[in-house]
Structure 1
């Protein structure tokens, strides 16, 4: 069973980054989650050959999976995954959505994902990633207020984008 740990420092040199995911906020302070069946997750995915900048990976994946443009992302940290073979990092970032496009199929899967907006306080529950998920969601909610100056009070609970 893999072990997960959350770190707010830069990814150590030599630890491969296999995924980049983003907590994407709308201006009212809610977070966009990608919905696939009954599973909720963050938009994001694997770097493609030649991609090294986390922000570029997140921008591409955000457009492919949930068809949104984002402003400059803010690095939150990384989740270390130790699968007993070779540990790797999953980077987490936060960004504000700047433009919403009509839903379209993901070029990788061919599926059109539902886009759900949720209160930041519900993200940890919906992701169901355990303690590290709650730590990540908290870091994202704090960045939304401190970095992006988004509201934290009086937010609607949920809704489709």
Structure 2
């Protein structure tokens, strides 16, 4: 930072006193030298199926997260709450940030006469809205024409490319639990494992059905058996496809016990539970292996209401095994493999 003086430094100073040429500035000069940027705030809201709330507006064809400009002298979190209230008619406060994005001045889409200087945009966590809260949405007479809940992988087809990157990065940051992401034009400056693997970039397979305790009935055909395999810290093994970013539970390991099954159509999808007593064996190289909390696993899947019942059964089994309830921490990849895990948008 340059040193400030109330008077301009003359040539007689000769650089003595610790300031060389060009390092001393008056307050007016220093103020004029600082970059001017817009400031905005948006809110990321999901429904209970993990879909993202986006708005249709009357002034552009693509969809947006709720939010807008931060007014002069207004805190970004206050602006986020005000914009949601004005656009959706829903009161709330959103103190938890998911991302801070730097949007460059040369980004396309702004008319030249606007002289867009670049923007710092805050993404706040609006949480998961219940059906009752969604029913409380009341749109204004103009500007917002509709709201939709979109599958995360569909965002790039619905939104401006930078907006979609930002929304997906913020959603991954929420699931990851490592704090707000710092972004540049929607791209994380320090990608997490979810960013590197491109989690949620392809549509999640809906797997709703109904949850039932105990083994699957012998009369039903069995499809896609999977297991909740616990590490000593209470987290579980998760597989993410390197080619698609899709998240999967691993197949049952030797010694796994039946937990329950999903019944979908005329088939049963069994779930087992067991311990990871050592490093998991080498798996298909098409999949990255991570440790995640059970909640993180569920948030990367589209399991419908039955997911709540399955998650409760998983925690009951964890307690029976004498394992701790894991706090939400960033997903840990086993092992790191930079040759395979390159960033995806």
The 1:13/1:141 distance shift into structure 2, 3 A limit, reads same
What residue number does 2:301 align with?
127
Q: Per the alignment, in what secondary structure is the counterpart of residue 134 of structure 1?
A: helix
Structure 1 residues 6 and 100: alpha-carbon distance in aligned structure 2, compared to 1, 3 A threshold:
same
TM-aligned CA distance change 1:115 to 1:22, over 3 Å: same
Q: Tell me which of the two structures has the higher relative contact order, counting C-alpha pairs closer than 8 angstroms and 6 or more residues apart.
A: 1
Provide the aligned C-alpha RMSD in A: 2.4
Structure 1 stretches lacking a partner, 5+ long: 45-57, 60-69
User: Any idea what the Cα deviations from partners look like across 1:16-39, whole Å, max 9, x if unmatched?
Assistant: 222310011110000111001321
**Structure 1 length-normalised TM:** 0.68
Classify the secondary structure of the residue corresponding to 1:127.
coil
Which of these residues, 216, 226, 248, is aligned with residue 41 of structure 1?
A: 248
User: Using the alignment, how far apart are the partners of 1:121 and 1:92 within structure 2?
Assistant: 16
Question: Could you tell me how far apart the structure 2 residues matched to 1:15 and 1:157 are?
Answer: 38
Q: Name the CA distance, whole Å, in 2 between partners of 1:89 and 1:154.
A: 31
Give yes or no for contact 2:293–2:326 (8 Å, CA) kept in 1: no
SS in 1 for 2:312: helix
Distance 1:99 1:153, change over 3 A: closer
Give the secondary structure class of the aligned counterpart of 1:138: helix
Q: Structure 2: which 5+ runs fail to align? A: 1-205, 335-345
1:9 aligns with 2:214: yes
Q: Where does residue 13 of structure 2 map in the other structure?
A: none
**Partners in 2 of 1:79 and 1:40 — Cα distance?**
17
Change (3 A) 1:101 1:120: closer
Give SS of 1:35's match: strand
Contact (CA 8 Å) 2:258, 2:271: kept in 1 or not?
Answer: yes
Aligned residues: 127
Q: Give the C-alpha shift of residue 88 in structure 1.
A: 0.9
What is residue 160 of structure 1 aligned with on the other side?
333
Q: State how far apart, in whole Å, the 1-side matches of 2:207 and 2:328 are.
A: 35
Aligned to 1:29: 234
Q: C-alpha separation between the residues in 1 aligned to 2:316 and 2:222?
A: 24
Q: How does 1:136-155 map to 2 (within 5 A)?
A: 136-146=310-320, 148-154=321-327
Q: TM-score, normalised by structure 2?
A: 0.34
1:50 paired residue number: none
1:90 aligned onto 2:273: no
Q: Deviations over 1:6-62 (max 9, x none)?
A: 111332231122231001111000011100132111012xxxxxxxxxxxxx22xxx
Matched, 1:74 2:257: yes
* Native 8 Å contact 1:33 1:42 kept in 2: yes
